[in-house]
Chains A and B, each alone.
Chain A
Amino acid sequence: MSFLVRQIALKSSGEEIVRPSTIEGAELIIGRDAASAIHLPDLAVDPRHARVKQAADGSLTITSVGELAFDVNGRSNTQATLDPVVGAELGFGGHRITLSRDSETGLPTFTVRRVEAVSDSAEDKDVTTAYTLKGLLPGKRISAWSFAILVLIAFLAFPIYSYVTYKPLAMQEKARRPDSFHADQTWSSGPLSAAHKNLGGDCQACHTEAFVAVTDNACLTCHTKDAHDHIADKSRLLKARGDPTGMAALQRVVATAFNRPAGRCVDCHTEHEGEGAMPATQEKFCADCHNGMKGRLPDTKIADAADFGTAHPQFKPMIISGMNGAKPVFTRADWSPSLQENNGLKFTHGQHLSKTNGIAQMVRRMPGQFTGSEALDCKDCHQSDSTGTRFEPVEMEDSCQSCHSLSFDQIGGTFRTLRHGEPEQVVAELRSFYRGGAPARPATLSGLARRVPGDAAARSTAADYARAVRFYPTRAEQAVAQVFSNGGMCYDCHTVTRGGTAASGGFAVQQVAQNARYYQKGWFDHKPHNKSDCADCHTQATTSNKASDLLVPGIDGKGGCRTCHVGGDGAKLTTASVKDPVDSSCAMCHSYHMDTDAPWAPKKDRKKDVAQTVAVADRPRFPVKLH
């Protein structure tokens, strides 16, 4: 009995070399040991791995010598009985042994072939990629595509989807998107101002149309009442602004090319600038139009204005020019130091404020009655209103009557007074007084009463009575005339004419009107000025003895606004000498959307110096202006 072993080796060219050998005996050993009949130089094979025995019928029994198994037809076994005629494939480590029957000799034949390389490194490597990260990381191309598509979906497609979903809600004041996340919020360039905070994620409240710049209509959907038009005629507004030149012209061209028309609300009211209030507008925007506007808009009635310190026209106070019945007629007049306003009263500011005359003496005699103890003060008559901005009208009863008494009779401790403001009542009162007020005839002079004997007492009484009657002013008309004429109570303060009805004794008192606000177009507030003396601005008050003198200051001159107020950047005229300059931009007194109230300023800034509340760039700017 014998076996045929065919060891197959590969040439480097890939050609096979077969080394056959015949093993005598009925048994052979397969192993790594060089003494084995089938020697497998393979570290995965035991030195004596398996024993092969041939039975009498020619079948082979293969048994593992140690614990290591071997493969038979792809399955792991430690023992197997095989028929060489049928054949089989055995696996030992990296070797494959094919069992067959040699056709010539009929011997069981083992064809041994190495199928696995000695080591992993012996296998072919692609040097160009082996040293790269290929296979260890996702490829650059695939990640580039994935990232890009992810970003486009999340930040482009999804927001557009949100926009399309809620498009029907645009331009409706009450309609709002539900309070939840909307993808187009990721497009917001910054938080909305405090006033618009409630719009929150409702981008379409303002951005109504895709690729169309925010329109005024979007603003006016909600701002139906509080958006006071600067000028109703927008074409005049644009004309006043004039055609931009230089850089501004280029900007306009680019803006127009990108469908961004000029002159919209949002030109000034920029949003997404951060939480908090919108800042007030910069002076530059006013001067853009008002500086040299006459040249661009020849028919305008408004004078050119730019910087307050150097280029602001004289003020035009609204003064009372006459009366229409009980109503005053107001006219705007050019301010001048000698400007007069007739309000119907006679009043001597100078005399009343004097510190040396009889009025001052009277104040000194009545300590505690007046603000000061030496003389009258402005406050004794002029009371500021609840806001402190302006003054209440001077009331005769509160301010004048303590000195200019209207009393004409005393009953016990009570003074009877004439009624102020109603001449007819005054006349009626006097007439009534003289009708029923004659001295009563003493009882002793009548014939029926008991009397003291003798004539002496009766004579004395009769003499007293005769004297009382003699000296009692009996003529009411005379008293009426006295009151309304020079030296009389009314005449002291009022202009009295002889055009009245019989009810007022033929006298007429001129209507009085007090002017509450002289400057209607600009905003003047007394409150911030309360650290100053009244006479600092109303310089003529202590000397003027004519009630028609307009004591309101103008822009220039002594006490004029430019005494303290300089331009927004501190500019002033060479003629003005300013001790403590106050930078004053347009927004301090003027408002673009002008109403009857103070110029708008953000709530948090209302107590601050107005000059500092206008919008300033939130980036470092040079030259830095130090206040």
Chain B
Amino acid sequence: MASIAPKKRTGASRARTSTHEGFLRHNNGFWGKLSAAIALGLMALYIFVPLPGQHFGSSWLGYTLGTIGALLILWLTMLGMRKRAITPGRWSLKAWTSAHVYLGLCLTVIGTLHSGFHFGWNVHTLAWALMLLVIATGIFGIWIYATAPRALSANRYDDEGAITEKQMIEAIRSLDRQIHDAAQTLDPQSAALVNLSLEEDAFTGSFWNRVTGNYPKCATRHAAAELRLIRTYQPRVGDDPADKVDALLTRKEAMLGRMRRHLKLKSWLQAWLYIHVPVTFALIAALSAHIVSVFFYW
């Protein structure tokens, strides 16, 4: 969400100043400070408010914390709806995200205090555990959002400047065409190896291949290696087409490596949401069961 700050209109300077401010630092960390204050306040209440010695969750403070926690969970879930409408200003999506992150972190304190540290194999602890799982994946998401973009940029830049996702595909295509042309004169065995590389889809691979960036069955690498093995004991001739194919395959391998690093970083950016979002809904279901059960067996 980079933005270009409008310079003073009267100013003579034409230098453009980027004032990017992420959701973590938004509004001078207002939501972070507020959440910390809420957390500390609630802990103080938990410790100092005199209450009868019973389940904390069924005291007035416990019910209050529970209500706040449940409503907060629903509000936090609404980011999924809110993020589809990007608006500027005080109630901008960035402000909303900042609040989502910090109030979500604060929820660990609210939910845990509501439990009164009574845990067991029951629906109540299930809801609490799901809540923590959602928050933990959220924390992981924050960490990825804070670190992955820089790594993505570093991966995309080289001596010739940046390369876009579309250009990555184009580069592979171009190399494939060149390899195809250069390999025309190869013997059937070598040609078959090269063809394997051409037929390989750069986007194949399991989720595991994506997140680890590890592709042990890469046909391009296999083709390059095998070709070199074949050529090792062959006499060197002046204009060997295999030389050109080898050089091209090496370039393709490098390009694929960069693309796969890109894919890995992108998958990290997305993968946590595949837990964060579904578990949120499991949490809302468990939360409903928790609330209904309390009133059902009142």
Contact = CB atoms under 8 A, between A and B. Distances in A.
B68 to A, nearest CB: 15
Contacts of A121: 169, 172-173, 176, 198, 201-202
Query: For B188, B270, B288, which residue has the most chain A Cβ atoms within 10 angstroms?
Result: B188
Chain B interface mostly:
helix
A152 interface: yes
B173 A151 contact: no
A615 B53 contact: yes
A307 B279 CA distance: 52
A127 B57 contact: no
Contact of B207 (A118, A125, A136, A270): A136
- Give the interface centre of A132, A160, A186, A207 by most chain B CB atoms within 10 Å: A186
Contact of A144 (B121, B199, B277): B277
Nearest to B123: A155
Interface residues of B, number: 78
B280 A186 contact: no
Interface stretch (A188-196, A590-598, A602-610): A188-196
B280 A68 contact: no
Interface residues of A, number: 76
Interface in B49-96: 50-58, 60, 63
Contacts of B263: 131
Contact of B53 (A118, A189, A618, A620): A618
Interface string A130-153: 111100111010011111111110
B55 A270 contact: yes
A122 B266 contact: no
Given A119-B173, A156-B292, A615-B52, A47 B187 contact: yes
A617 B277 contact: no
Q: Which of A137, A203, A620, A622 has the most CB of B within 10 A?
A: A137
Most A CB contacts (10 A, CB to CB) among B47, B121, B281 go to: B281
A213 interface: yes
A131 B124 CA distance: 39
Interface stretch (B25-33, B97-105, B112-120): B112-120
B233 interface: no
B266 A148 contact: no
A187 B278 contact: no
Contacts of B279: 147
B192 A44 contact: yes
Interface stretch (B7-15, B34-42, B136-144, B177-185): B177-185
A589 to B, nearest CB: 21
Contacts of B284: 148
Contacts of B194: 43
A272 B271 contact: no
A617 B183 contact: no
A616 B53 CA distance: 5
A273 B118 CA distance: 9
A130 B184 contact: no
A119 B63 CA distance: 64
A87 B207 CA distance: 47
Contact of B201 (A120, A146, A210): A120
Highest count of chain A CB atoms <10 Å: which of B58, B60, B280, B293: B293
Interface string B184-216: 111110011011001111110011001000000
Given A186-B122, A279-B53, A152 B289 contact: yes
B285 A152 contact: yes
B285 A188 contact: no
A621 interface: yes
Contacts of A622: 47-48
B118 A119 contact: no
A270 B54 contact: yes
A41 B293 contact: no
A34 interface: yes
Contacts of B172: 121
Nearest to A31: B188
Given A151-B285, A203-B297, A212-B298, A143 B202 contact: no
Contacts of B123: 155, 186-187
Given A66-B188, A147-B282, A615 B54 contact: yes
A610 B298 CA distance: 32
Nearest to A138: B274
Contacts of B183: 43
A471 interface: no
A133 B271 contact: yes
A378 to B, nearest CB: 41
Nearest to A143: B278
A68 B188 contact: yes
A480 interface: no
A258 interface: yes
A133 B282 contact: no
7 contacts: A32-B191, A43-B180, A119-B177, A133-B210, A151-B126, A187-B297, A617-B51
Given A41-B181, A43-B194, A121-B169, 13 more contacts: A122-B177, A130-B169, A133-B210, A147-B279, A148-B285, A156-B288, A159-B296, A186-B122, A190-B120, A250-B60, A254-B63, A617-B54, A619-B46
